Structure formats: C-alpha cells, structure tokens
Amino acid sequence: MKQVLEGSQAVAEAVRLARVQVVSAYPITPQTHIVEMLSDYCATGKMNAKFLRVESEHSCMAALIGAQSSGVRTFTATSGQGLALMHELLHWASGARLPIVMAEVNRALAPGWNIWVDQTDSLAQRDTGWIQFYCEDSQEVIDTTLQAYKLGESVALPVMVVLDAFFLSHTYEPVDVPSQEEADRFLPPYEARFELDTKNPCSFGPLVPPAVYMEMRHDMAAAMDTALTNFARIEDEYERIFGRRYGAVEAIACDDAEIVFVTSGTITSTARLVLQNLRGRGEKLGILKIKLFRPFPVEEIRKALKGAKKIAVIDRNFSFGASGIFAQEVRAALCNAPVHAPVFGYIAGIGGRDVTPEVLEEIYWKTKNNAVPERESVWIGLQEVRHGN
Amino acid sequence: MEIELTEREFMYPGHVGCPGCGAAIAMRFVLKALGEKMMMVMPACCWSVIAGPYPTSTLKIPVIHSAFETGGATASGVRAALDMKGDTETTVVTWAGDGGTFDIGFQALSGAVERNEDFIYVCYDNEAYMNTGIQRSSSTPYGAWTTTTPGKDWKKMRKKNIVEALAAHRIPYAATASISHPEDLVRKVQKAHAIKGSRFLHIFASCPTGWKIPSEMAVKIARMAVQTNIFPLYEVEDGLRYTINLKPKRFPVREYFKIQGRFQHLKDEDLEVIQKMVDEDWELLLRKAGEHA
C-alpha cells in the first residue's frame, strides 16, 4: 500500500514488518523519529517487541548483543556521536557473528556541534565487520531494511542501513509499504545458529589464543565475501515478491559515458537530474551509484567503470591525511584492473551543506576541463574564511 | 546458621585461577546456590581467564563474555530476549570484578538498576585490577600499594562504597557477603533469587597474588576483614531497610594490615587514620540500621 513516509518512518515500518523482538535505543538527532515511532508501536501493541530505553548508545549495542545472543531478532538506530560511542561494540557484534540490524542516520561529528548530513561517522566504521548499505530514497530504505535482516542472518554478520540526515530521514515521499503477509513470505522467523540455552550450556566469546583467533577472523572474511553473492540472490527473491531491485551498485547510462560520477546516498538523486540536463546538451555523463559499501563490490565497480574516460567520485566525507573515502575505495578497486581511467576526487556537502545541481555541474566541468586531477581531493564550494580581525 | 546446599557442582574440577583465588571460591558457592536454570554475563575480569581459554570451560552453565563496561547492559538484553521467548524461569546473572563494577561498568550498572532490570548483579571484589597485574581501582582501599600506586604514591583515597551507591537507586536488594562466611553468602544468593527486579551482591573475594599474602590465608584474611569491620556483612532492601547480619568482634584493623604485603609501607599513624575511618563507617551503618553502638 502506498503511504507518504519520512525515511525515518520507512525504517520503522520495515522493523515492524521484520517482526523484531527487542529494540534498544538512546536519543540522538537525527535518528530520533525512528525510535519514537518504534516506541509507539511497542506501547500500542502494533509490534510485539520489548523496547529497552538504555542510558547510552554503548549500552544499547551491548543490550542488543545480549538479546541477539539469546536468539531473538533485534534493531537499533543511531547517528554521529552515538555511532562513535558504539565503536568498540560494533567489533563485538560482528566478532560474535550476530546479525543485528542498525539504521544509521549520517550526522557530522563534533566539534563544533553539527546535526546535519556527513558520511564520515559511518565510513569510519568500515573495518568493524558490519555490512553497510547506503540508501537513496525512502522506498529504498524500507526495502533495504527488510533485506538487511535476510542478508545478515544468511551470513551471521550485522548490517548497517545508512540514510542521509534530513534529506532522507526527515523528507516525506510516497512509499510502497509491503503487507505483513508479503513481508513474512520474504523473511521467515529468525532462527539463531547458536544461542544461550540452559539445556545446552556453552561459553560465548571466551579467551581465544593465537592458534584459533586467526581462523575465526578468516571465517568472518569469508562470510563477508558470501554476503556479496547472497545479496544478489536475496534481491532476486525480493524482486519476485515486490517487483523492485537495486543492485549492489547501479550503473546509470555508463555504457557510452565519457565521465562517470560515483555517488552514494541522496546525492545520487540530484545527479540523476544533472545527468538528464547534461545529456540534453550532448554531454556524455554516466552515474555509478554505490549502494553496498561493505562488502565492497569490486568486480561490479570495475565492470561499470570499464569504458569511462574519467571518473569523478563525489564524497560527502573525508579521511584526514588521505582523501574522500569512496574515492580511496574506488581507486583501490581499480588499481589492479588492466586499464582504468583517472579518478578525480571531489569533496562536497560536508556537514550538511547542500549539494545542488549547480554543484554537480561544476564538478562535471572541472573534470571535463582537466586532463588529469589537479589534486587527490578538490573541495567544492569552499568560502574564503578570514581568521581573527 | 544452617543452609541447604546441593551436593552438585557447577564447576568442573580445575580452573585457570591463581592458587587461593577468592573469586573461584565465590563462584563455586554462588553457582551451588542458584542451580542450573541460570545464564551468566561475564564482562572482562579475572574470571574471563579463570573460566579457561577456548575450547575449554570450567563452568557448566551458559556464559556470554562481554565487553568490560557492559555487565548491566548485556544482561538487560539477555533478560529482554528471554522474556520475549516466554522464559521467566531462567535467572540472568552478571558476574563482574570491582573494576568492571565500581569503575568502567558503573554507568551500565546504574542504568540497568534504574530500569529495575530483572537480574542479579554479582561483584566479586578483589580490590584492584588483578587480571591486568594489580592496578588501582576505585575499590582499592585507602593505604594500598598497587602497580599504579607505587612507593609514596600509595592510594590516599577511600574505597568507593558501592552498596550505598546502589541503595541510593532504591534497588530492591543489595547485600555484602564474604567468601569467609559461606552460609551467609548462600542465604543471600537464595534470598536475591526469590526477589524480582535488580539485585546486587557485593562479595569480598581475597586475592593472594595481588594482596601479597600466602595462598592458604585467602579465607582467613576475608574473615579478618569482616571481624575488623573493614567489610561488614549487611543487606539493604529497597534502599531503605538495613539489616546488619553479623556483629563483628571489632578487632583492631592493625593485624589485618600487618600481614598483607600491599600495606607494608604503612606507618602506625597511617593505621590510626584507617582505624578512625573504619569506626566512622561502622557508626554510620549502625545509624542506618537503626542500631546504636
């Protein structure tokens, strides 16, 4: 049924449809609407779940680790500082092989306080062993959240569904909300591979010597690789029921494109408009949207970028001392490809600054007019700042 | 005092603790008192090692090891999941050291108790970070040497009073216990088991390695702590009703300090200061219990 929903509400609807049994959360803007709605669902009985109102994000993730280890489906949402505080337990959740699902509403990190969109918070968690999806619109949010449970449970790894603050979390759009019956058909009840059980007492997460630890980590690495192939299969199943699929990446008009934008999140939607405009003026622009960031779909990215003459990666994030993080990853993915185009790195929209069609056109012309990148990262739209008097 | 205690053991013979480990004695009695319908959350502490490395385990119950500061939170999640599965019989127990309780885990414990989560939190207190090699915690007593309070920098601060902090949360049940008084300890575990909501047990568990005493002194030193009033045995219900379980002989603290290597640097005047602190604390406890010296 079509409903007009915020990205946040789309998350909450998916969590309800997934029949999550334990939700835990701590308040932080801009993820609050998600957990407010879930609180309401738990209070009114629309969801049969226990809501743990913990005293920090750190305790939130710890509570979910305890709950999921006891054999139930769990959920939380967070942003920025909250995700940073959780960092230790993100490693714990993946190491314990718990398919927890978390919505992460990208928020810039302090200081100074900034509640607006910036992907550095979630991308800084790239080595924690979580699967990461970046969503473009509310329909994708609801679909991806449902898929996240199925994918995470298929490989026993946790999944982060990432949304842009405000541009997605607080923007209303028409969304096709699956019926409970359809959702159940896609996502069967959770069956834990292992759980705390008094009839079968086991020790979870004990001291592990060097003779075993490395193999455990290798198992996680293999599970991440499996997640890539499982995602394609899960999308097939999803498409059969709901008629929608997204791909780990989406290549838009890349076949004959001379310049390809690499985008993620809501910037992709703006780029689609710019693509139409520029194509109308005879410019051969393509877009490669990256939806799945971990595991990183290297082969699909190489394939999509094979014919490009220049690649322009647009990063709403930054790794200090290096470059935009998607740019790093794309460069790393391409470096062992037989041939590849130069990768131009652009930093835009940091801390919630709007990335307008004009910004993207500026990036297009900069890329077109330079044979090779001026620098590793070009910051777009910087104002001149005068310090002191 | 007579208590009923099962002949069954919930620990296999053998563990990886030091000789004379008070924490191992505490575990054995708590498990016997609770039986097999329990699950244990174990934040980082000596017992993370004592239980044995993968694939061994000395414990016959389900255990989930957890991050250092998450004893209260992880247990909340386990409880929530059991409730959702309709399992109201299984008791959830957090088993943490003093560092994981008084210091790094204090926030998660406070949060869980404020929510009145239905679980038993046991802190076995060996008065320092023993697992990492005897570093001071906020449970380390005034006067103690540790590897981070060496030489003239011996600890000049009082031990945090954790039971009073928990009582201030109006926790349904909080009690102290000692490995030297197993009947009292077992009775308190069983009493806690019968109560709903958050319950807290503070067990004095000597550490021969860290306290620098012979291992055969492990139980005796704990008895001395009780009999000198350094560690009184009492319980608090709903943060209001205090009961002192044992009227100690009130031996001077001097002997307790003289036989432990960790206090060897203390002078007579230091011991007088400590005696005064212990007396003050006892008077305060008596007042709370509605008794008079």
Instruction: Give domain status of residue B207, yes or no.
Output: yes
- Cα–Cα distance, B125 to B204 (Å, whole number): 5
Amino acid (1-letter code) at residue B239: G
The reply to whether A196 falls in a domain is no
Would residue A158 count as lying in a domain?
yes
Distance CA A206, CA A204 (A): 6
pLDDT of residue B293: 61
Q: Is the pLDDT of residue A389 over 80?
A: no
Answer yes or no: is B78 within a domain: yes
CA atoms within 13 Å, Cβ hemisphere of B173: 19
Shared domain for A229 and A253, answered yes or no, is no
Q: Are A12 and A76 in contact (CB under 8 A)?
A: no
Greatest alpha-carbon pair distance for chain A in Å reads 73
Report the residue from B60, B62, B72 with minimal CB separation from A196. B62
The answer to whether position A32 is within a domain reads yes
**Are A70 and B37 inside 8 Å of each other by CB?**
no
Q: Does the reported pTM lie above 0.90?
A: yes
Q: Which of B37, B57, B78 sits opposite A203 (nearest CB)?
A: B57
Average pLDDT score over residue span A58-83:
98
Among all residues of chain A, which has the CA nearest to that of B107?
A55
Is there a single domain that holds both residue A307 and residue A364? yes
In a domain, A112, yes or no: yes
CATH code, domain with A268: 3.40.50.920
- B64 at interface of A, judged by CB pairs closer than 8 A: yes
Which pLDDT tens digit goes with each residue over A221-231?
A: 999 999 999 99
- pLDDT-based confidence at A385, cuts 50/70/90? confident
Q: A273 and A222: one domain?
A: no
Question: Which residue range is the domain that position A149 belongs to?
Answer: 2-188+208-242
Among B52, B90, B111, beta carbon nearest to A55: B111
B48 touches A at CB < 8 Å: yes
Q: Give the contacts of A169 (CB within 8 A, at least 6 positions apart).
A: A6, A7, A8, A30, A31, A33, A34, A105, A163
d(CA A59, CA A73): 17
Closest chain A residue to B36, measured at CA: A198
pLDDT digits (tens, 9 = 90+) for A314-362: 999 999 999 999 999 999 999 999 889 999 999 999 999 999 999 999 9
List the 18-37 stretch of A: residues with Cβ below 8 A of B.
Answer: 21-22, 24
- Residues A8 and A148 placed together within one structural domain of the fold: yes
Given a contact cutoff of 8 angstroms between Cβ atoms, the answer to whether A46 and A177 are in contact is no
Q: Judge: A70–B78 Cβ closer than 8 Å, yes or no.
A: yes
Residues A233 and A287 in one domain: no
Is A197 part of a structural domain of the chain?
Answer: no
Q: Which residues contact A219 (CB under 8 A, 6 or more apart)?
A: none
**Residue in A24, A89, A196 nearest the CB of B78:** A196
* Whole-number Å distance between alpha carbons of B178 and B163: 14
Q: Do B70 and A68 touch (CB under 8 A)?
A: no
Cβ under 8 Å to B: A residues 59-118: 59-60, 62-72, 74, 88-89, 92
Q: Residue A76 pLDDT more than 90? A: yes
Q: Do the Cβ atoms of A197 and B110 come within 8 Å?
A: no
Cα–chain center distance at B57: 22
What are the C-alpha distances in Å from A170 to residues A12, A138, A386? 13, 10, 34
Q: Chain B, 140-179: which have a CB under 8 Å from a chain A CB?
A: none
Res. A98 pLDDT band, cuts 50 70 90: very high
- Per-residue pLDDT of A103-133, as tens digits, reads 999 999 999 999 999 999 999 999 999 999 9
> Which CATH number does the domain housing residue B179 bear?
3.40.50.970
| Å between A189 CA and nearest CA of chain B | 13
Which residues from B are below 8 Å from A198, CB to CB?
36-39, 61-62, 90
**Are A99 and A227 within one domain?**
yes
- Provide Rg for chain B, Cα atoms: 18
Q: Residue A127 is part of a domain; what is its CATH number?
A: 3.40.50.970
pLDDT by residue for chain B (293 residues), tens only, comes to 678 889 999 999 999 999 999 999 999 999 999 999 999 999 999 999 999 999 999 999 999 999 999 999 999 999 999 999 999 999 999 999 999 999 999 999 999 999 999 999 999 999 999 999 999 999 999 999 999 999 999 999 999 999 999 999 999 999 999 999 999 999 999 999 999 999 999 999 999 999 999 999 999 999 999 999 999 999 999 999 999 999 998 899 999 999 999 999 999 999 999 999 999 999 999 999 999 76
**Mean pLDDT computed over A127-155:** 98
Q: Do A266 and A150 share a structural domain? A: no
Q: Is residue A195 part of a domain?
A: no
- Mean pLDDT over all residues of chain A? 97
Whether B65 and chain A come into contact, CB under 8 Å, resolves to yes
Q: Are residues A113 and A151 in the same domain?
A: yes
A140 and A166 part of one domain: yes
Provide, rounded to the nearest whole percent, the portion of chain A with pLDDT above 90. Answer: 97
Specify whether A99 is located in the same domain as A172: yes
Domain count, chain A: 2
Q: Which of A23, A59, A128 to substitute to test the interface with B, most B CBs within 10 Å?
A: A59
Among B120, B124, B108, smallest CA distance to B197 is for B120
Distance in Å, alpha carbon of A71 to nearest chain B alpha carbon: 7
Interface probe for A, chosen from B12, B49, B61, B78 (most Cβ of A below 10 Å), is: B78
The answer, for B36 touching chain A at a CB cutoff of 8 Å, is: yes
Establish if B7 belongs to a structural domain. no
Distance CA A18, CA A182 (A): 11
Q: What is the pLDDT of residue B2?
A: 75
- The verdict on A218 touching B (C-beta cutoff 8 Å) is no
Question: Is B236:B172 a contact under the CB 8 Å cutoff?
Answer: no
Q: Which residues in chain B have their CB less than 8 angstroms from residue A196's CB?
A: 39, 62, 64, 78
Report cis status (omega within 30 of 0) of the bond before A30. yes
Q: Specify the pLDDT at position B292.
A: 75
State the CB neighbour count (10 A cutoff) for residue A176.
15
The whole-angstrom separation of Cα B264 and Cα B257 is: 8
Q: Same domain for A253 and A238?
A: no
Counting the structural domains of chain B, the total is 1
Instruction: Supply the pLDDT for residue B4.
Output: 83
Give the pLDDT score at B3.
80
- Give the residue numbers spanning the domain of B95: 22-288
A53 and A94 both lie in a single domain: yes
Quick one: average pLDDT of A205-214? 95
